[in-house]
Structure 1
Amino acid sequence: MSKEVSEIEIVTDAVSYYGLIIVLAFGTFGCICNFITFTASQLRKNPCAFYFLGSTLFDLLSMTFGVSTRFAADHFDSNLHSSDRVYCKLRAYLVSTIPLVSMYLVLLSSFDRCMSSSVSVRFRSFSQMKIAYRATAIAIVVSLLSCSHILYSYDLRPVCATMPGPYAMFDGIFLVVWLGIIPHGLMLTFGFTTVMNIRQTKRRTAVHWQTVGIAVFSATQSIERKKNIQLIIMMLGQTGLSSLLILTRMTSYAYYILKPRATGYQRLVDKSLMSFTIILYYTNFAKSFYMYTLTSHLFRSIFMERIKSCFQTIFGQ
């Protein structure tokens, strides 16, 4: 048994060490590429692209702060989390708040695509830049306020932890529901509604074609329609994979918080499972560029145009 325990510890440490490095490296590179793409003139005035740009910023903050502080604690023997009260509270607050902002911006992108694909003119009017600015500000404020209880509950006990007893259960349920079930449940709902809206629009277009016998679309309308479809595909891919990764982590976290404290071999297995799901959790904030690249021709073409433009500017060609 001791040999098996030793092997599990070695594998867990290796996966945690290299996994976090890979996530941080690929995630940082992907976020930089997202910034390059979403600041292009073709997307600068699109509400959905604005939400994607905002979520990229908070993805980068989530990874650089969350991964680096966890890496320091797990592999460089940093004891700030168990010796500095201010750091304990601030880290616990930020590792919940920053990812929450990112998730709610992705949620807003799914809401925007749902509204923009509606057959109702009134609903389509919600897809505007001025609404995107206000909704982003509201999402940030709500995230900051909703997690403020963490600043009170977390303290050195003697290591950094929340208050024991019923509040520990509340904290676990809060993270699972507020950071997991609610945003991703709404994402999937808006995504499903968007698909239904697209099908309804296609049926109405087909009926109109049969009735009138001809359909005339300007070049601008055609380009804008293709752009919206590509953004919808990006949104569906982002929300689907995000829901899978985050809900996997939240389910594991709920199991860890609510189950009786394990000892011995079972405790080691639980630690290994938590380390693996932590990597999955931060993978969620590193994946967006690669998901957009795989799912959208529009994103790939704009990204390549921006890269070519950067090289031409640098080399003066």
Structure 2
Amino acid sequence: MKDRLEELQGNVEKYDNDEDLNIAKHFAVIDMDGESMNDVFYKVNFLGNAIDKLAELINIIQSLQNAMLAPLPDIQSRNKLEEKILEIRQLGNTIRKNLNEMKKMQGMDTNTDEKNARQRIIEIHTDILTERFCDEMNKYYKSVVTYQEQCRTRIARQMQIAGFENTDDEIDKLLENGHSFLYPEIRVQLEKEKQTLYDMEARHLDIMKCEDSIRELHALFIDLADLINRQGADISSIADHVKNADEYLETIPHILPSKKSNRPAKKVILSLSSNSPLPYVQQQLIRYGDSIFLIFGVSGCCLNILLLSRRQFQTSSCCTYFQALSVIALIHITIALGLYLYTLDNIDPLGISIICKLRFYIVQSTAMMYRWCLTIACFDRYALSSADVRLRKFANVKIARRVVVAIILIWLVLTLHIPIFYNTINHICIIYNNIFASLYHSAFLTLTGCIIPISCMAICTLLIHRNLTLKRQRRQQNAPKAKENEKLQSRRDQQVLIMLLVQMIFYSITVIPLMTMYFYNAITIYLSKTLARIIIERFALFITEMINFLFPVCSFYLYTMASHMFRVELKAMLYSFLKLQWLKKNISIRPIDYEMKVKPKPTAHAIEFNSNKLERITEVSQERKNLSPDIIQ
């Protein structure tokens, strides 16, 4: 029998080799114990467990959402819900990241057969896990949307119960901020907190404004420090002058230690310390110049009042304005110049706040009153010379008295800002450290006391000239033969026009310098000035104030020089006054029996007096007939 063991073993080896070739040709062999497949199965198991945990968290969130929708939700449930939502978000991000890594692992093998088999395994597991993840996340999003809709419905119902009307956008904002429920008490508390927040913001703004003010004050102090440093030499010179003055006073043995002798010494020290003769010049101008102004101004205003109170002037509305102007100017001059003269040898009462405010209030209000009385008087003369009947009705005495009362009341009200703005600082009555008040006061005085009155008077003067020209032309057409009357009326018209021009020009000259100084002081209120500049500016302001006093002081003398009839009536008034005084001195008391027995014969002096009186009365009456009342100043 033939031994066939070796042949069979060879056939078996051959068959095994062929089978191995067929398996390698048609199938892929994968090493399941390799590191790559272990990583794959580890990620598959990790993702499966993570998706199972995600499903458990979604179920927990659904239960917590149902608890939050209860009538009395717990704050702990709300906190747990927020924690679980945060865990879901973190877990979802982790799962999404691992799925992306598995997709990247599909092309990592070098062997093509093994690569295809491994890729199919990863794709199958990736698709299954992705589908499970998407299903769970869709379930989570669906529960979140349902919960938000229920919360929106609940908040809207609670708002309606509480009486609040809110739009859908406002409710969405509440949901975005995490308010899933809202009670009326919470809403009231929220409103209180908002009001508290508004108050805090308002206080913050106040603090910011206070900070800005502190910064401005700091800058002001820095400027003040610079000014003090720059004026160190001036202060040293002042101290030297005071020391020299004290030594000089000690060397004079005959100076008495009385108050009257000490006051001039103090003024000499002040003039020496300022190192300028201007304060001394100003004192002398107050002593002599204001005294002359006060004497002539008071006497002129009193004569104006007495003269315009006569019967001949009571029928003229223009004289009513000038009589009121004289009364107001008398008050203005007495208070303004009287206080200047009082402060020469006495303590300045303007250091008291009330007197400071009242003095400037009365002086400025009376100044505005007499300025506008003059302006309305010009308009009254324009109305009197107009051809319009309705406009001529304005030139009436009753209307003039009402207008005067209205002017007084208006300027008492419009100048009320003066006692508010003026204050006493270091015994000086000024508008201190307020640029707005200073500019307003200067602009107010410039417009109402200078620009507007002068413009009105100039316009009225031009209109009066036009009306007088038209009136003269009408007279020439209506009565060509009356040459004498025409010449007389022409002279009267020229006199009226000259009087208006003189008043307007004199008023403009006296008021414009003062208004210019007011405006200059308002602009330079914050500039750092040297002592010499301050002294010069105060002296210039004093000179402009003295020029401004010229108009009320010289009004009587202007009327006397410009108006012939004014001079005639003044002579008649003085003549009647002197006649009354002469009659008082020559009255004799005698018994009745003596008069019956002895009839006294008239002396030659008495006959001469009566004849002169008759001639004078006839002359005055003739002049009154020849002159028209419309030219009375």
**TM-score by structure 1 length?**
0.88
The equivalent residue for 2:418 is 150
1:313 and 2:580 are equivalent in the alignment = yes
For residue 523 of structure 2, the aligned residue among 224, 241, 258 is 258
Structural mapping, 1:145-184, within 5 Å: 145-158=413-426, 159-162=428-431, 164-184=434-454
Matched, 1:118 2:383: no
Deviation at 1:230, TM superposition (A): 5.2
* Alignment partner, residue 80 of structure 1: 349
- The AA in structure 1 aligned to 2:580 is T
- 2:612 equivalent in structure 1: none
The one-letter amino acid paired with 1:291 is L
Verify the 8 A CA contact 1:24 1:64 in the aligned structure 2: yes
Three-state SS of the structure 1 residue aligned to 2:465 is helix
Cα deviations across residues 62-81 of structure 1 (Å, max 9, x unaligned)? 100011113333x2353321
Q: Does 1:296 align with 2:563?
A: yes
Candidates 445, 457, 482, aligned match of 1:187: 457
Tell me, yes or no, if structure 1 residue 63 matches structure 2 residue 336.
Answer: no
1:228-307 paired onto structure 2 within 5 Å: 233-259=498-524, 260=527, 262-307=529-574
1:287 counterpart SS class:
helix
- From 24, 30, 48, the equivalent of 2:318 is 48
Indicate the larger mover: 156-165 or 250-259. 156-165
Are residues 170 and 101 of structure 1, via their aligned partners in 2, closer, same or farther at CA, if it must alter by over 3 Å?
Answer: same
TM-score w.r.t. structure 2 length? 0.46
Q: Deviations over 1:203-233 (max 9, x none)?
A: 2322334xxx44599x9xx999987875664
| 2:371 alignment partner in structure 1 | 103
Contact 2:286-2:340 at 8 Å conserved across structures: no
Gaps of 5+ in 1: none
Please name the residue that 2:403 is paired with: 135
Deviations 1:272-311 (A, max 9, x none): 2111111111111101111011111100000000010111
List per-residue Cα deviations over 1:144-185 (Å, max 9, x = no partner): 110012222222234322352211211121122222222222
3-state DSSP of counterpart to 2:313: coil
1-structure distance, mates of 2:329, 2:535: 30
Identity %: 24
Relative to structure 1, the CA distance from residue 302 to residue 311 in structure 2 (aligned partners, 3 Å threshold; closer, same or farther) is: same
User: Given the superposition, is the C-alpha separation of residues 38 and 226 from structure 1 closer, same or farther in structure 2, using an over 3 Å criterion?
Assistant: farther
- 2:302 is equivalent to residue 37 of structure 1: no
> What is the SS of the residue equivalent to 1:284?
helix
SS of the residue 2:332 aligns to: helix
- 1:36-76 alpha-carbon deviations (Å, 9 max, x no partner): 22112211110011111110011111100011113333x23
Partners of 2:412 and 2:309 in 1: how far apart? 26
Alignment of 1:192-203 (within 5 A): 192-203=462-473
Q: 1:12 matched to which residue of 2? A: 282
How far apart are the structure 2 equivalents of 1:64 and 1:229? 35
- Answer whether contact 1:116 1:127 (CA < 8 A) is retained: yes
Offset, 1:103: 0.9
Partners of 2:419 and 2:536 in 1: how far apart? 30
Would you say the 8 A contact 2:371–2:453 is kept in 1?
yes
Letter matched to residue 32 of structure 1: C
Alignment of 1:26 with 2:291, yes or no, is no
Q: 1:30 to 1:59 in 2, by over 3 A?
A: same
Distance in 1 (CA, whole Å) between partners of 2:470 and 2:312 is: 27
Q: Using the TM superposition, name which of 8-17 and 63-72 deviates more.
A: 8-17
Post-superposition offset of 1:110: 0.4
CA distance in 2 between partners of 1:223 and 1:310 (Å): 31
Distance in 1, Cα, partners of 2:311 & 2:491 = 16
SS at match of 1:78: coil
1:203-242 alignment runs, 5 A limit: 203-209=473-479, 213-214=480-481, 233-242=498-507
Q: Is the 8 A contact 2:382 2:461 kept in 1?
A: yes
Inter-CA distance 60–231: structure 2 relative to 1 (3 Å threshold): farther
Preserved contact between residue 282 and residue 539 of structure 2 (Cα < 8 Å):
yes
Q: Which runs of 5+ in 2 are unaligned?
A: 1-236, 238-271, 584-608, 610-633
Q: What is the SS of the residue equivalent to 2:552?
A: coil
Distance in 1 (CA, whole Å) between partners of 2:489 and 2:391 is 18
Larger radius of gyration: 2
